[in-house]
Every structure is written in C-alpha cells, then in structure tokens.
Structure 1
Amino acid sequence: MESRIEVSWTCRPCEVAGQDAEVDAGDGPTCWNCGGPVVVTARPTVRTGSGPDTR
C-alpha cells in the first residue's frame, strides 16, 4: 500500500487553515496567506494507491 503524509495546520494571525503534503520534515509548512509560521494540528497518513486489502 502506498501512502503519503499530509500536514494540517492553522495560522492564528490570519485565522486560516491549510493542508499540504509533507515534503521534508526539516522544512515546516508556511501560511499560504502571509507566508509566516503555522501551528501543525495533525499529520494524517493518506493512501495513494491500492493494496491487496482494498477493492
């Protein structure tokens, strides 16, 4: 089963939220509105391909 990690985040000053694919753990996500730092709220794993247990 193939998967990728998504990063869900919020920007408190802008009061917006977003979700990006996690590319590099060293570089955190930034706000799409102001370009500033964000607070990561979740890192869910998302299936990208079918595996033997999926239809």
Structure 2
Amino acid sequence: MNTAKDISDKIGRDTIMAAMGVKKRVVQLYEQEGAFPASWYLKLCKLAGQSLPHCAFKFQ
C-alpha cells in the first residue's frame, strides 16, 4: 500500500468520500497524483486500522 490508489482500494472510495466529505472526483484526482493531503493521514489510518506509509501523503 504505497500509493493513494492502493489505500483507496483497501479502504474503499465510498468510505473515504463519506469520511472526508468529498466527491468521487476528488478522491480520483488524488489517486492520479499518487498521494492524499497530509491532513487526511490520521483519519485514513483509523479507517484502514493500521499505519499508512507517509509516501502516500503530501507531507511538507
């Protein structure tokens, strides 16, 4: 699970959309970029039930 797409595949796009309050297109754009916003990290870790790789997020 090293990319945003890998994370979406594991957690589910609908789950991410609901948790982050965004539309499907937003999730798809981040998947294409390969990384989610850093502000999503903790919530997605909680949804995944595990720590996620920092390289799948846009940390400064």
Q: TM-score range by the shorter chain?
A: under 0.3
Which structure is higher in RCO with an 8 Å CA cutoff and minimum separation 6?
A: 1
> What's the TM-score once normalised by structure 2's chain length?
0.22
> What's the TM-score once normalised by structure 1's chain length?
0.23
Structure 1 or 2: more helix by fraction: 2
Structure 1 or 2: more strand by fraction: 1
Q: Which has the larger radius of gyration?
A: 1
